[in-house]
Amino acid sequence: MKTYIDTGILLKGYVLEPDTPEALAIIAAVGDPQLFSHVHEIEIPNAIRLKRFRREITKQAEAAAIQLFRDDVKAGRLERPEYDLVEVFRGAEKLSARHSGDVGSRSLDLLHIAAALEAGCTAFASFDERQRKVAALAGLKVIPAKRSAKKP
């Protein structure tokens, strides 16, 4: 099973958040290398920087987390899948047309799902309920199978 892990889960490998243990278990179960899309490339460092902006981490922790992320890319633990980037954007628009009016999908979430589909993934890991719903509607197996009501 080829699995695409969303930023919200991958991020927890670089900064501590309430769901970090669950996220790390998913990352470990998928194994190396994890797929690393063009969306992850901007979204993960930006999410880390936003944590500093919100005063959740220090500037030193921000720099260390971004360096760990870059080290994972360099070491091949994160690997760019083969896909047509233009088709990813087309796929995201198709997903938007089919589902955003009903689900309330965000553009970046749709780009992740479209990248997963374009890369030939059969599973999609996310904690975001709207993203999980669209991924399932697009035919992807959603991981984890269920989320508790308390989690996002």
Check residue 31 and give left, alpha or beta (phi > 0: left; psi -120 to 50: alpha): left
Q: What is the pLDDT along the chain (152 residues), one digit of tens a residue?
A: 899 999 999 999 999 999 999 999 999 999 999 999 999 999 999 999 999 999 999 999 999 999 999 999 999 999 999 999 999 999 999 999 999 999 999 999 999 999 999 999 999 999 999 999 999 999 999 999 876 655 44
pLDDT at 148: 61
Residue tagged 């769901």 (tokens): 19
- 64 exposure class (CB count in 10 Å sphere: 0-12, 13-18, 19+): middle
Q: Which of 127, 96, 139 is nearest to 9 (CA)?
A: 127
pLDDT at 151: 45
Pair 14, 44: CB distance under 8 Å: yes
Query: Could you give all domains of the chain from N- to C-terminal order, each with its CATH number?
Result: 3-143 (3.40.50.1010)
According to DSSP, residue 11 is labeled G
Q: What is the spatial distance between Cα 46 and Cα 19, in angstroms, rounded to a whole number?
A: 19
Sign of CA dihedral 52, 150, 12, 3: negative
pLDDT at 146: 79
